[in-house]
A = this chain, B = another copy of it.
Amino acid sequence: MAKELSKMTKRSEDYSKWYNDLVVNADLAEQSAVRGCMVIKPYGYAIWEKMQQELDKMFKTTGVQNAYFPLLIPKSYLCREAEHVEGFAKECAVVTHYRLKNDPNGAGVVVDPEAKLEEELIVRPTSETIIWATYKNWITSHRDLPILCNQWCNVMRWEMRTRMFLRTSEFLWQEGHTAHATKEEAAERAMQMINVYADFAEKWMAVPVIKGPKSPNERFAGALDTFTIEAMMQDGKALQAGTSHFLGQNFAKAFEVTFTNKENKQEYVWATSWGVSTRLMGALIMTHSDDNGLVLPPKLAPIQVVIVPIYKKAEELAAISERVQPWVEALRAKGISVKYDDADNKKPGWKFSEYELKGIPVRLAIGPRDLESNTVELMRRDTLEKETVGQEGIVERVEGLLEDIQSAIFEKARKMRDGYIRRVDTWEQFKVEIEKGGFLLCHWDGTVETEERIKAETKATIRCIPFVAQDPEDLKPGVDMVTGKPSARRVLFARSY
The answer to whether A37 and B90 have CB atoms under 8 Å apart is no
Residue in chain B with minimal CB distance to A134: B39
Determine the chain B residues whose CB is within 8 A of the CB of A89 once the complex forms.
100, 109
Are the CB atoms of B134 and A121 closer together than 8 Å?
no
Interface set, chain A 122-151, CB cutoff 8 A to B: 122-123, 130, 133-134, 137, 143, 149
Identical subunits present: 2
Name, among A32, A65, A73, A100, the residue most crowded by chain B CB atoms within 10 Å (CB to CB): A100
A70 interfacial contact with B, CB 8 Å: yes
- Known contacts: A41-B67, A49-B66, A70-B37. The answer to whether A97 contacts B94 by CB under 8 A is yes
Which residues on B sit within 8 Å (CB–CB) of A134? 30, 32-33, 39
Which 5 pairs between the two chains have the least Cβ-Cβ distance? A42-B65, A37-B70, A40-B68, A94-B97, A98-B158
If over half of A's interface residues share one DSSP class (helix, strand or loop), that class is named, otherwise mixed; here it is mixed
A66-B42, A85-B109, A156-B71 known; A92-B100 Cβ under 8 A: yes
14 A-B pairs, CB-CB below 8 angstroms?
A32-B134, A33-B134, A34-B73, A34-B121, A37-B71, A39-B69, A39-B134, A42-B65, A68-B172, A79-B108, A90-B99, A91-B98, A94-B111, A96-B111
Residue A6 at the chain B interface, CB threshold 8 Å: no
Report chain B residues within 8 Å CB of A120.
111
The complex places the Cα of A45 from the Cα of B152 at a distance, in Å, of: 11
Chain A residues with a Cβ closer than 8 Å to the other chain, count: 61
A113 to chain B, nearest CB (A): 11
Bound Cα distance from A70 to B169, whole angstroms: 10
Interface bits A79-90 vs B (CB < 8 Å: 1, else 0): 100000100011
* CA of A149 to CA of B143, assembled, Å: 45
Asked if A95 is at the interface of the complex by the 8 Å CB criterion, the answer is: yes
In this assembly, does A237 line the interface, its C-beta being within 8 Å of a C-beta of chain B? Answer: no
Contacts A39-B69, A67-B42, A74-B33 given; indicate if A92 touches B98 (C-beta within 8 A): yes
Q: Is A67 within 8 A of B93, CB to CB?
A: no
Does A17 interact with chain B (Cβ within 8 Å)? no
Chain B CB within 10 Å, residue with most, of A39, A46, A120: A39
Cα of A97 to Cα of B68 in the assembled complex, Å: 26
B158/A99 in contact, CB under 8 A: yes
B70→A170 contact, CB < 8 A: yes
- Known contacts A39-B70, A73-B34, A109-B89; is A96 also within 8 Å of B99 by CB? no
